[in-house]
Amino acid sequence: MGAYMMSDAAQTVPPSFRTLDIRTRKGDREPRFLIRLDLRDRTQHDIASSILLAHVLFEQETSLGVLAVLSEGDAFIDIGANVGYFSLLAGSVVGPAGRVFAFEPNPVTAAIFSSNMAVNDSPAHITLIEKALSDQDGEAAFVTVDEKAAPNVQFARDSNGTLWTNDHDSCDGIHPITVETVRLEELARERGLPMPKAIKIDTEGAEERVLRGAGTLVDPGVIPFIFCEINENGLKQHGSSPDRLRAFMRERGYDVFLLNKDGTLPTLVPHGTGITSEYVFNVLFSTPEHVGRVWPTVKFISVIEGMPQTARPGNA
């Protein structure tokens, strides 16, 4: 699976905007979608930089994981959908026979998502829901942070934002709004949503709250694959931690896997092994059985194969 980009030089949009034509490969198919990005925005700039400069997909390991687990006709839920990259990627794979439900409570970001839907002729199988998923139904404060915020403000420093908590002190550069919150389990029941093959959660630290609100849906027999951001500072702001989140998922039957940038078999992390990183990163919650069905083989690389040709025995 790979990707390449085509940009229309004749497009009549401001110079800070770029429309990217993203094509991937899934078996003998070539899923494709367009996305229009404002390069002045941090997250959108990161998406464009990955594709234009590094020549890889945005969040490459997660993108390849989504491509691997989804097939035509599957359902996918994108929680914290931002401007629509993962929703459009998933939508291009599952096709018109599948469904994608995207949750984005930030009205500014949701408007950009809608414009990206329009660029793709508004595919009917992708649905944007402008609500925040959480562990309670009702209303909550949702905060975005701009570059004027104090350096010690560690949450939501991007275009999207996160749910407000009591630990979020008010200061310059922080912009709270009121959003509607819903529990995924209740909303899925009310709307009769098809059970997803996979979900992606990127809520700047509110991931455990989202998963608790999903209730009985958080079961490998119901949702086999959950791609989840691990943002240690964000989780702390919401009274959680990477270890607590892993323990919550383990109680519900999930193991944790690290995703690989080349799209190969994810690495199972034993329960007693910690995961350290200086960066925010994504993991896959699943089971060895489910992972084995998607990645049925793994290649053993011998020491000799890894050597330069001139250093191999017999080539001295």
pLDDT in tens, 166-196: 555 556 667 788 899 999 999 999 999 999 9
Write down the pTM of the prediction.
0.89
Give the separation between CA 184 and CA 251, rounded to whole angstroms. 19
Q: Please tell me which of 35-44, 87-96, 303-312 the model is most confident about, judged by mean pLDDT.
A: 87-96
State pLDDT tens for residues 53-78. Answer: 889 999 999 999 999 999 999 999 99
Is 81's pLDDT higher than 70? Answer: yes
Range from 31-35, 82-86, 173-177, 236-240 carrying the lowest mean pLDDT: 173-177
Residue 94 pLDDT: 98
Q: With contact defined as beta carbons under 8 Å apart, do 83 and 43 qualify? A: yes
Return the pLDDT at 12.
47
State the average pLDDT for the chain: 88
Find all residues with CB under 8 Å of 174, minimum gap 6, and list them.
Answer: 143, 144, 145, 149, 153, 168
Looking up tokens 């509110």 gives 206
Which pLDDT value is given to residue 6?
A: 47
**Does residue 300 or residue 79 have the better pLDDT?**
79
For β-strands 255-258 and 281-286, DSSP reports them as antiparallel
Picking from 227, 262, 225, 188, the residue whose alpha carbon sits closest to that of residue 81 is 227
Q: What is the pLDDT of residue 162?
A: 73
pLDDT of the residue at 5 = 47
Residue where the block lists tokens 């004027």: 148
Q: In sequence order, what are the residues at sequence separation of 6 or more whose Cβ sits closer than 8 angstroms to the Cβ of residue 165?
A: 237, 238, 239
Per-residue pLDDT band for 9 (boundaries 50, 70, 90) equals very low
Calpha distance 134→141 (Å, rounded)? 12
| Each residue's pLDDT tens digit, 146-158 | 655 545 555 554 5
Question: Which domains occur in the chain, in start order?
Answer: 3-311 (3.40.50.150)
Residues 6+ apart with CB under 8 A from 126: 87, 88, 91, 99, 100, 102, 117
- pLDDT score recorded for residue 89: 98
* Alpha carbons 40 and 18: distance in angstroms, whole number: 11
| β-pair partners for 163 | 142
